[in-house]
Amino acid sequence: MAITPLAALLALPGCVAINVSDNGPAASADAPEHHDYPEATPYDVTVDPMVEVDAALARAAERDTRLLLVMGGNWCHDSRALAGWLETERFANLIEEHYELVFVNIGLPQTGDGHNLHIAERFGVVDIEGTPNVLVVTPDGLLVNRGTAKSWRNAASRSEDAIYDELVELADRPAGIQPVEGIEIAQ
């Protein structure tokens, strides 16, 4: 029995519930019209997103902040939810103080149709299987959250406070040090 592309998509984990219409991939028609989270669609296709990443790293060095690199897709409800939270006033203040934010469209990596994955690989993140992914990077190019960069595929299910608290913690976490449950890292 042959597996259709749609059946293959539905069998994969992560953000894969899509509808293909004359206008291309869109949110699932089965998705509820009201969500407990805001949505935004900033994952535009750009000519060379690495240029945007390099510019953000330069700004981070000038301002002593970090790169907040969000890799996702407008087709993915978790990517849209995370982007929606990041556009709220509460998150905008946090981002302004601690980060340089860049959104990168990575297509559908779980189907083999991933785009711009070389950007994540630059910072040591490989084998991306879904969206979104959040990389927090120092101005020197060191990944701060190696253990959690690929753990954001449930962003639509996370609370606003959980997302905010994690980004606050990542803003000050020393690069290369991963937290251990129950142990506080001295500042």
Segment 3-50, tens digit of pLDDT: 444 334 433 445 544 433 333 444 444 444 555 765 667 677 887 999
What is the spatial distance between Cα 54 and Cα 35, in angstroms, rounded to a whole number? 34
Q: Which residues of 92-103 are buried (b: 16+ CB within 10 A; e: fewer)?
A: eebbeebbbbbb
Enumerate residues 6+ apart whose C-beta is below 8 A from 180: none
Contacts of residue 41, Cβ cutoff 8 Å, sequence gap at least 6: 74, 80, 83
What are the residue boundaries of the structural domains of the chain, listed by start? 37-172
Q: Where are the alpha helices (DSSP H) in 100-176?
A: 117-122, 160-172
pLDDT digits (tens, 9 = 90+) for 117-159: 999 999 999 999 999 999 999 999 999 999 999 999 999 999 9
List C-alpha distances in Å: 74 to 9, 55, 118, 141: 16, 23, 19, 26
Ramachandran sector of residue 139 (left: φ over 0; alpha: ψ -120 to 50; beta: rest): alpha
Quick one: which of 101, 108, 164 has its CA closest to 132? 108
This prediction's pTM: 0.76
Contacts of 97 (CB under 8 A, 6+ apart): 65, 171
Higher pLDDT, 42 or 90: 90
CATH class of 37-172: alpha beta
Q: Are 44 and 105 in contact (CB under 8 A)?
A: yes
